[in-house]
Amino acid sequence: MAFSTSRFLAILMKEFIQMRRDRMTFAMMIAIPIMQLMLFGFAINSDPRHLPTLVEVHDSGPFVRRFLAAMETSTYFDIRGTVAGSRDVDRVLKAGNANFVVTIPENFERDIIRGEKPVLLVAADASDPSTSGSATSALSVLAQNTINSLATGPLSYLASTPDAFSVVAHARYNPAAITSYNIVPGLLAVIISMTMVMITAIAIVRESERGTMETLLATPARAPEVMLGKIIPYVFIGYVQTCVFFILAFWVFAVPFAGPITPFIIGLNIFIIVNLALGFLFSTIAGNQMQAMQMSFFYMLPSILLSGFMFPFAAMPGWAQTIGLVIPSTHFMRILRKIMLKGADLPDIVPDLRALLIILAAVSILAMLRYKRTLD
Amino acid sequence: MTQETATPVIEVEGLVKKFGDKTVVDQFDINVPKGAIYGFLGPNGSGKTTTIRMLCGLLTPDAGSGRCLGYDILRQSDNIKEHVGYMTQKFSLYEDLTIRENLDFMARMYRVPDRKQKVDKALEELGLANRSHQQAGELSGGWKQRLALAACLLHGPDLLLLDEPTAGVDPKARRDFWDEIRRLSDAGVTVLVSTHYMDEAIQCDNIAYIAYGKKLIDGPARKIPEMVGLNTWRVEGPDLANLAADLEGSDGIEQVARFGSALHISGMDAKKLDNAVNPFRKDKRYTWTSKPAGLEEVFIHLMSGSTDNFAEKKAA
Ligand SMILES: Nc1ncnc2c1ncn2[C@@H]1O[C@H](COP(=O)(O)OP(=O)(O)O)[C@@H](O)[C@H]1O
Ligand SMILES: [Mg+2]
């Protein structure tokens, strides 16, 4: 199996020319990330306001009054009334009467001043985690601000004590609450996966439908030449999408990028190629463009649902995790979150890269075996 | 010439191809000598395209074996593809690529040395040099066919497989096309060409006729009439159109064809044909001559469908 650079380049260049002339597809490639980011970023509102809140107050000093007022003015919380006792808390949360119950313990103010670090208990209905996540974190900022505003005169030492109290949030029903920052980085995996798989799956089936496959097959081209030549042009589409994605992610959603760029780029390249190879594999199975499209959509389901994008991976049942592990998005999702949110470096993502490379090898071998060099 | 002595360019035996439970090519043998123009005739759906595809490794035969350009058709299709120029029945270059881009693509695929010059030369010879930046999809049928031929000649193939290359092309373009085929053949290129046109079949050195996937006739063109065994009456006189209408459909008359100022009336069974013709021979305005069928009648006969052919063979 002699690999010919000449033939590989011929296919590569042809593919580039066709891509450039197919304005519609090219426009779609740019529109899809923008649309998805807007839909997921805004429709799944990860930073909602005016959430119905109940309070259970066992202390009525000036600090607590001021804190409750601050909660209202923050616009995150609408204080709808009070509850009494933890039974009541369970009831209102279950009934959906409130998303939050904030419990201020007895002698809260006194304990703060004494430096005893009292506990502010927040029971949150986290069944819709994106609702509760940011509000919970807002709460502790609010409490700290309240303390700072009171920290004058003899109490000024409190201002320099950031943990004068602690907020204990009980995220009920969904302990691994996903935050907004979790959604947006994961979207990059979803966007790339969706478009890369579909675009290659279609690109090859299109040759069969237009009849040009017969010319291609009549030439002495070998499977790896065709596969590489057809895949590599779309890597650039992947880059363009990534750029569009980050412009929006930074600008509209202010998503952090904590880690270094190099491991990200390594992961990105491998991930793009895995998905293109997968699309190529699909195209060797699909009979026409419609089928290729359907297969791509069918693949999107597990890659959105089982990759840890929608639901926390660790909380999924064993069989779902097993499926999740063979989906490239799962591993890239981890790389993205580790690097963007946790500031991880190359050594931290080695296991995920290894998993991606194993999937890549398996998919490529399968695709090459399935790629028919005849019209049978 | 040396044709008979040299090893054949195509030499296959017992090729079978099935799609589902339908046998599309059945026990096909062929022997194509070097430099020959081998005509491949048969009605639509008879298996010509399928056979050609098996010869160049695009389809895997279900049975049979053989060699093409000295390479095994089952195991060495990579080598075969390097030396074969295959022109598909339907235009299958890239319509969204320009003429030059298509030629350049093909030249790279076959690793043609001096690619740039070869492509320039091909464009020049095609007469498309000044339109080389036009997309192939914009070309008319005749130009597409010339482009496709130029594309499969770039790498200087030893064997040309042409699948109905002139379908839907005007007569002038067809004549030019055949001049080119003849030139290539004289230069030692072997040509296997499937066709529907009688005037093209006549230009071939050898003819293989296939129907329902079975090869029925195969031989040098000049021997074909004798092999088919068609009997013909030639009639001259006035008002041939009416006479033709009267003759058509009579038992024993399979074909009535107009040749200039004469009608050729043919049938497989000489006795039946005579019986059918005899009543008309009384009309003194017409002159009737019995003659052996020529290539033309035979090809018209062959191309006009093979059902009769099959039926006669079975009855005999
Ligand atoms: N890929 C295929 N799958 C199923 N049937 C096919 C396929 N290709 C050709 N056929 C059938 O095989 C028969 C022969 O086709 P073909 O070789 O194209 O004939 P020809 O070229 O002589 O017109 C036809 O009946 C056609 O419908
Ligand atoms: Mg055909």
In Å, how far is A217's CA from the nearest CA of chain B? Answer: 7
Q: What is the pLDDT of residues A33-74, one digit of tens each?
A: 888 888 876 665 555 667 788 888 888 788 788 888 887 777
Q: What is the pLDDT of residues B210-268, one digit of tens each?
A: 988 999 889 998 888 888 888 899 999 888 888 888 888 888 888 888 888 888 998 88
Cβ-defined contact of A220 to B109 (cutoff 8 Å):
yes
The band of B3, judged by pLDDT with boundaries at 50, 70 and 90, is very low
Alpha carbon separation from A130 to A42, A151, A184, B104 (Å, rounded): 11, 33, 12, 55
Residue of B nearest to A208 (CA): B92
Q: Is the CB of B24 under 6 A from ligand 1?
A: yes
Three-class SS of residue B168?
A: coil
Tell me, yes or no, if B92 comes closer than 8 A to chain A by beta carbon. Answer: yes
Longest Cα separation, chain B: 71
Mean pLDDT of B42-51: 90
Domains of chain B: 10-222 (3.40.50.300), 231-292 (3.30.70)
Partners of A292 in beta bridges: none
Per-residue burial over A134-155, b if 16 or more Cβ lie within 10 Å, else e, is bbbebbbebbbebbeebbeeee
Does the pLDDT at position B313 exceed 50?
no
Q: What is the pLDDT of residues B102-119, one digit of tens each?
A: 999 999 999 999 999 999
- Asked if residue A160 and residue A283 are part of one domain, the reply reads no
- Asked if residue A94 and residue A182 are part of one domain, the reply reads no
Residues of A in contact with B68 (CB under 8 A): none
Cβ-defined contact of B108 to A7 (cutoff 8 Å):
yes
Q: Is the CB of B174 under 6 A from ligand 1?
A: no
Q: Is the dihedral of CA A339, A345, A346, A349 positive or negative?
A: negative
Tell me, yes or no, if A210 comes closer than 8 A to chain B by beta carbon. Answer: yes
In a domain, A104, yes or no: yes
Output phi, psi for A222, to 5 deg: -95, 160
Interface A–B counts its CB contacts (< 8 A) at 73
Tell me, yes or no, if A163 comes closer than 8 A to chain B by beta carbon. Answer: no
Q: Is the CB of B49 under 6 A from ligand 1?
A: yes
Note the pLDDT of residue B310.
35
Q: Which two tokens stand for residue A58?
A: 């066992």
In a domain, A38, yes or no: no
> Does residue B126 come out as left (phi exceeding 0), alpha (psi in the -120 to 50 range) or beta?
alpha
Contact B190, B221 (CB under 8 A): no
Mean pLDDT of A197-204: 88
Mean pLDDT of A296-324: 88
- Least CB-CB distance to A10: which of B78, B93, B109? B109
Residue of A nearest to B161 (CA): A218
Angle of CA points B126, B130, B131, to nearest 5°: 80
Spatial CA neighbour of B16 closest among B25, B6, B7? B25
- Least CB-CB distance to B58: which of A7, A214, A222? A214
Cβ-defined contact of A219 to B84 (cutoff 8 Å):
no
Domain end call among A134, A154, A172 = A172
Mean pLDDT of B36-62: 92
Q: Give, using CA atoms, the residue closest to atom 3 of ligand 1.
A: B19
- Asked if residue A195 and residue A324 are part of one domain, the reply reads yes
Q: Give, using CA atoms, the residue closest to atom 25 of ligand 1.
A: B45
Q: Give, using CA atoms, the residue closest to atom 8 of ligand 1.
A: B50
The CATH number given to whatever domain includes residue A61 is: 3.40.1710.10
Cβ-defined contact of A375 to B53 (cutoff 8 Å):
yes
Q: What is the pLDDT of residues A221-233, one digit of tens each?
A: 998 999 899 999 9
Spatial CA neighbour of B256 closest among B244, B268, B246? B244
How long is chain A?
376
Does the pLDDT at position A144 exceed 80?
no
The band of A316, judged by pLDDT with boundaries at 50, 70 and 90, is confident
In Å, how far is A230's CA from the nearest CA of chain B? Answer: 14
The closest-lying atom of ligand 1 relative to the alpha carbon of residue B52 is 17
Mean pLDDT of A292-306: 91
- Asked if residue A192 and residue A289 are part of one domain, the reply reads yes
Residues of A in contact with B93 (CB under 8 A): 212, 215
The band of A153, judged by pLDDT with boundaries at 50, 70 and 90, is low
Contact A35, A249 (CB under 8 A): no
Does the pLDDT at position B8 exceed 50?
yes
Spatial CA neighbour of B188 closest among B56, B54, B83? B83
- Asked if residue A304 and residue A259 are part of one domain, the reply reads yes
Note the pLDDT of residue A261.
94
Q: Give, using CA atoms, the residue closest to atom 18 of ligand 1.
A: B49
Q: Is the CB of B50 under 6 A from ligand 1?
A: yes
In a domain, A7, yes or no: no
Note the pLDDT of residue B165.
92
Residue of B nearest to A373 (CA): B58
Q: What is the pLDDT of residues A80-98, one digit of tens each?
A: 888 877 777 777 777 667 7
Mean pLDDT of B272-300: 85
Does the pLDDT at position A211 exceed 70?
yes
Note the pLDDT of residue A166.
59
Average pLDDT for chain B: 88
Residues with Cβ within 8 Å of A156's Cβ and at least 6 positions away in sequence, in order, are: none
ipTM tops 0.95: no
Domain end call among A172, A207, A230 = A172
Residues with Cβ within 8 Å of A285's Cβ and at least 6 positions away in sequence, in order, are: A295, A370
Mean pLDDT of B135-159: 94
Cβ-defined contact of A14 to B105 (cutoff 8 Å):
yes
Note the pLDDT of residue B311.
37
A171-180, B39-48, B84-93, B150-159: which range is least confident on average?
A: A171-180
In a domain, A69, yes or no: yes
Q: Give, using CA atoms, the residue closest to atom 17 of ligand 1.
A: B47
Spatial CA neighbour of A166 closest among A133, A144, A145? A144
Count CB-CB contacts under 10 A for residue B75: 10
Mean pLDDT of A282-295: 91
Q: What is the pLDDT of residues B158-167, one digit of tens each?
A: 999 999 998 8
Note the pLDDT of residue B44.
84
Note the pLDDT of residue A155.
59
Average pLDDT for chain A: 83
Contact B81, B155 (CB under 8 A): no
Q: Is the CB of B19 under 6 A from ligand 1?
A: yes
Q: Judging by beta carbons within 10 Å of its beta carbon (0-12, 13-18, 19+), is residue B13 exposed, middle or buried?
A: middle
C-alpha–C-alpha distance, residues A182 and A99, integer Å: 21
Q: Is the CB of B195 under 6 A from ligand 1?
A: no
The closest-lying atom of ligand 1 relative to the alpha carbon of residue B46 is 22
The band of A161, judged by pLDDT with boundaries at 50, 70 and 90, is low
In a domain, A311, yes or no: yes
The closest-lying atom of ligand 1 relative to the alpha carbon of residue B42 is 22
Q: Is the CB of B46 under 6 A from ligand 1?
A: yes
DSSP letter (8 states) at residue B98: B
Q: Which ligand is nearest to the CA of A214?
A: 1
Note the pLDDT of residue A174.
36
The closest-lying atom of ligand 1 relative to the alpha carbon of residue B163 is 21
C-alpha–C-alpha distance, residues B120 and B128, integer Å: 10
Mean pLDDT of B49-75: 94
Tell which wins on pLDDT, A113 or B193.
Answer: B193
- Asked if residue A151 and residue A75 are part of one domain, the reply reads yes
- Asked if residue A292 and residue A185 are part of one domain, the reply reads yes
Note the pLDDT of residue B238.
87
Does the pLDDT at position A160 exceed 70?
no
Domain end call among A138, A172, A206 = A172
Q: What is the pLDDT of residues B175-189, one digit of tens each?
A: 889 999 999 999 999
- Asked if residue A137 and residue A218 are part of one domain, the reply reads no
Provide the domain limits for residue A70: 51-172
Tell me, yes or no, if B81 comes closer than 8 A to chain A by beta carbon. Answer: yes
Domain count, chain A: 2
In a domain, A136, yes or no: yes
Residues with Cβ within 8 Å of B79's Cβ and at least 6 positions away in sequence, in order, are: B69, B71
In a domain, A42, yes or no: no
Cβ-defined contact of B92 to A212 (cutoff 8 Å):
yes
- Least CB-CB distance to B109: which of A17, A213, A221? A221
Tell me, yes or no, if B289 comes closer than 8 A to chain A by beta carbon. Answer: no
> pLDDT over 70 for what percent of chain A?
85
Cβ-defined contact of B105 to A217 (cutoff 8 Å):
no
Tell me, yes or no, if A20 comes closer than 8 A to chain B by beta carbon. Answer: no
Tell me, yes or no, if A84 comes closer than 8 A to chain B by beta carbon. Answer: no
- Asked if residue A310 and residue A226 are part of one domain, the reply reads yes
- Asked if residue A185 and residue A163 are part of one domain, the reply reads no
Q: Which two tokens stand for residue B72?
A: 């095994």
In a domain, A13, yes or no: no
C-alpha–C-alpha distance, residues A346 and A8, integer Å: 32
Q: What is the pLDDT of residues A183-194, one digit of tens each?
A: 788 889 999 999
Does the pLDDT at position B14 exceed 90?
yes
- Least CB-CB distance to B57: which of A7, A10, A374? A374
Residue of B nearest to A11 (CA): B105
C-alpha–C-alpha distance, residues A169 and B129, integer Å: 76
Q: Which ligand is nearest to the CA of B41?
A: 1
- Asked if residue A322 and residue A193 are part of one domain, the reply reads yes
Count CB-CB contacts under 10 A for residue A328: 27
Q: Is the CB of B232 under 6 A from ligand 1?
A: no
Note the pLDDT of residue A75.
73
Note the pLDDT of residue A154.
62
Could you give the angle at which helices A23-38 and A223-251 cross, rounded to 10 degrees?
A: 40
Mean pLDDT of A279-292: 91
Q: What is the Rg, in whole angstroms, of the alpha carbon atoms belonging to chain B? A: 22
Does the pLDDT at position B308 exceed 60?
no
- Asked if residue A82 and residue A195 are part of one domain, the reply reads no
Residues of A in contact with B138 (CB under 8 A): none
Does the pLDDT at position A169 exceed 60?
no
